[in-house]
Amino acid sequence: MPFRQSIKIIAVLLLIMLLIQLLNTVTNGIISQFGIIPRTTMGLIGIPLAPWIHHNWLHLASNAIPLALLSFLALQNGFKQYILVFAFITLVAGSGVWLLGSAAHHAGASLMIFGLWGYLLALAFFQRNVKNIFIAIVVFFIYGGLAFSLLSYQPNISWSSHFFGMLAGLLAAQLFKNNGVK
């Protein structure tokens, strides 16, 4: 995908998150309630919404750069593939968090960050072409430390979002490996 087109898509993605966070701030955190609340009917709405919602500006800021970079790299396999993978990770990982996550309001793009991370690493294994191997090397070099966060518990951070995001990304790479992407 051309560089400028990728940047425009990422800018729109981040603008949407920025506007949602602005609305969340103006409403004193009302939007945060629409995250994933495991095993509740109300929490089901959070499955598609959680990656777009952040509990505060620092939360959004800490997710913005990794999401932008990993999205840029995932877009190198095409916009349609990116949308398919994004939707798959959102729904599968969100469902995993809803079924097995801790009793909390789970929200944030880290679900997508870990999902795209797992997807980009696994895609190199499944497709074994120079482009995806190079992308996987870049991803591992920059974000290899994400693996360690899966092995540790940090209060107020949704470990289940990270874990199910990564798992959904691995599954997405397996399922969509032959999706006509060059």
Question: What are the pLDDT digits (tens) for 131-167?
Answer: 999 999 999 999 998 888 877 777 778 889 999 999 9
pLDDT for residue 181 is more than 80: no
Tens-place pLDDT, residues 61-110: 999 999 999 999 999 999 999 999 999 999 999 999 999 999 988 999 99
Question: Amino acid identity, residue 148?
Answer: F
pTM: 0.94
Q: How far apart are the first and last CA of the chain?
A: 11
Please give the Cα distance from 85 to 144 (Å, whole number).
Answer: 21
Please give the Cα distance from 156 to 110 (Å, whole number).
Answer: 13
Please give the Cα distance from 154 to 24 (Å, whole number).
Answer: 24
Total residue count of the chain as it appears in this document? 182
**Helix or strand holding residue 114 (H, E):** helix 110-127
